A and B are shown apart, each in its own frame.
Chain A
Amino acid sequence: MADPKPSLDSLPLKAHAAGLNFHYGDFKALKNIDMPIHDKRVTALIGPSGCGKSTFLRCFNRMHDLYPGNRYAGEIRLHPDNVNLLDRAVDPIEVRMRLSMVFQKPNPFPKSLFENVAYGLRVRGINRRAILEEKIEEALRGAALWNEVKDRLHEQAFNLSGGQQQRLCIARALATEPEILLFDEPTSALDPIATASIEELIAELKERVTILIVTHNMQQAARVSDFTAYMYLGELIEFGWTDDVFIKPRNPQTEAYLTGRFG
């Protein structure tokens, strides 16, 4: 039988969104989102295409800054220092050091495995070989890839299989020791075995890092997450323990989506 769940208020936060609105030009993609991100837990964002879940995820590392006409309002506070990630005074590069992102399609750089993982460290000014080697081994072990690649660190990253490339991207994301890992549909381009290994990895990683994952696969959300947020048309419809959301959702809209009665 499942352990009784602690109340949400009693859990430490890693971040929280408060009154978050986001516009792509005239289009309002996020509407007044308030949401906690609990420390060292996996939070899954689910919802139909266009519901704003990826937009929400991308607010965290200020990806939207790259395009003109995008506007944020409200805040995303990172704990414990309570810095507002969306504050113009906060350097997006610094933000991206604290939060790493893994994308839908594996996107290794056209470099060796070693240099892929070393990239973020070098950006930070770490160039001493011994330190790099130590950090890279740690990151590759963290991404459950070390044993498979330790003898071929100087091969091109593209020689790896899709699942390995995705784990390399996770290792690259881990190398800078981020506080939050952002996954944007990390397994949608992978086969079921590679998917299972990434899901296994997520379960291991949450011991030391907070994870936010966008997924189209509801069963994946059910398998990997502690919390699930259901979004629709830019609004947060329901947030709660994954067990509760999948067995006993409180909102009829969540119910309709989960049971495939949506549309």
Chain B
Amino acid sequence: MTEHLSRQYDADLEAIRSRVLQMGGLVEAQIHSAIECLATGNVELMLRVSENDRRVNGCEIEIDDACAHLIARRQPAASDLRLVMAVSKIVTDLERTGDEAEKIARMAKNIHGRGRLQTPPAADVRHAGELAVAMLRRVLDALARLDAGEAERIIAEDATLDDAFRGIVRQLVTYMMEYPRTISTALDIVWIAKAIERIGDHAKNVAEQIIYIVHGTDVRHTAREASRYGQGEPDGAE
């Protein structure tokens, strides 16, 4: 879209956009590190994930503040308004994604502290984690390009992660029944799998906001409808 008459307005909006993408990059790195902690038990990395979470939290507050300032000073309308509203929600999802990464690192620390990692679904958990990271990366790309089509595909893919989570839980239940001594570790892995599944949910939420920015259609809580967002009757026709 062409530029605003006010260059400062353009600069303010652009600053918000790039801060969100930066925050997204940071969160993506956090998940990546957390999954690595799980595989390697690298204590230093675990501590760094915990440290970085504070930076993620700081980003959320800072970007929300910038949105409030922009609303107060510029009274954005139409696509600008949708962008600001959506960003304010997206940063909440990104912050919570960061929390999930920290949770994974914490559980990894517990598991490695006990010295027992080799429960059967470990590889599946890693795979699900990689799926979640990929989903987040793609949704951030879609946000940078305001690509509603890609957002729609990401929403559809969330089901894959949900299935992976259920599969992992099924395996762990069997495992816990056979080897009750591993219940603590198995439960930690359930928490990790749940955290990964939540990351997928947050990525999906971000994708929904992208559709809102681009088309002005709110597809939250109507996942099945999302694929039809662009084909509805135009409302309010003269």
Report yes or no: A262 in contact with B238, Cβ–Cβ below 8 A.
Answer: no
Report yes or no: A240 in contact with B236, Cβ–Cβ below 8 A.
Answer: yes
Contact mask B9-38 → A, CB, 8 Å, 1/0?
A: 100000000000000000000000000000
Report yes or no: A8 in contact with B6, Cβ–Cβ below 8 A.
Answer: no
Contact mask A234-263 → B, CB, 8 Å, 1/0?
A: 000001110010111110001110111111
Task: Give the segment of B73-81, B120-128, B182-190, B199-207 that binds chain A.
Answer: B73-81
Contact mask B208-238 → A, CB, 8 Å, 1/0?
A: 0000000110000000000000000011111
Report yes or no: B77 in contact with A262, Cβ–Cβ below 8 A.
Answer: no
With contacts A247-B216, A248-B216 taken as known, whether A259 is within 8 angstroms of B79 at the C-beta atoms is yes
> What total of chain B residues lie within 8 Å of the partner, measured CB to CB?
22
- Answer whether residue A36 sits at the interface, using C-beta atoms and an 8 A cutoff: yes
Report yes or no: B81 in contact with A246, Cβ–Cβ below 8 A.
Answer: yes
Which residues, 58 to 107 on B, are CB-close (under 8 Å) to A? 75-82
List chain A residues, Cβ under 8 A from B76.
Answer: 259
> What total of chain A residues lie within 8 Å of the partner, measured CB to CB?
27
User: Chain A nearest CB: distance from B208 CB in Å?
Assistant: 15
List chain B residues, Cβ under 8 A from A190.
Answer: none
List chain A residues, Cβ under 8 A from B215.
Answer: 248
- Answer whether residue A5 sits at the interface, using C-beta atoms and an 8 A cutoff: yes
- Answer whether residue A65 sits at the interface, using C-beta atoms and an 8 A cutoff: no
Which residues, 203 to 227 on A, are CB-close (under 8 Å) to B? 218-219, 222
The contact of B77 among A34, A35, A241, A258, by CB within 8 Å, is A258
Most chain A C-beta atoms within 10 Å of own C-beta, residue among B78, B82, B215, B216: B78
User: Chain A nearest CB: distance from B55 CB in Å?
Assistant: 32
List chain B residues, Cβ under 8 A from A263.
Answer: 5
Contact mask A141-168 → B, CB, 8 Å, 1/0?
A: 0000000000000000000000000000
For the complex, what is the distance from the CA of A241 to the CA of B236, rounded to whole Å? Answer: 7
- Answer whether residue B145 sits at the interface, using C-beta atoms and an 8 A cutoff: no
Report yes or no: A8 in contact with B237, Cβ–Cβ below 8 A.
Answer: yes
Report yes or no: A256 in contact with B2, Cβ–Cβ below 8 A.
Answer: yes
List chain B residues, Cβ under 8 A from A249.
Answer: 78
List chain A residues, Cβ under 8 A from B181.
Answer: none
Report yes or no: B78 in contact with A247, Cβ–Cβ below 8 A.
Answer: yes
Report yes or no: B238 in contact with A259, Cβ–Cβ below 8 A.
Answer: no
For the complex, what is the distance from the CA of A218 to the CA of B75, rounded to whole Å? Answer: 10
- Answer whether residue B177 sits at the interface, using C-beta atoms and an 8 A cutoff: no
Q: Residues on B close to A: CB < 8 A?
A: 1-6, 9, 75-82, 215-216, 234-238
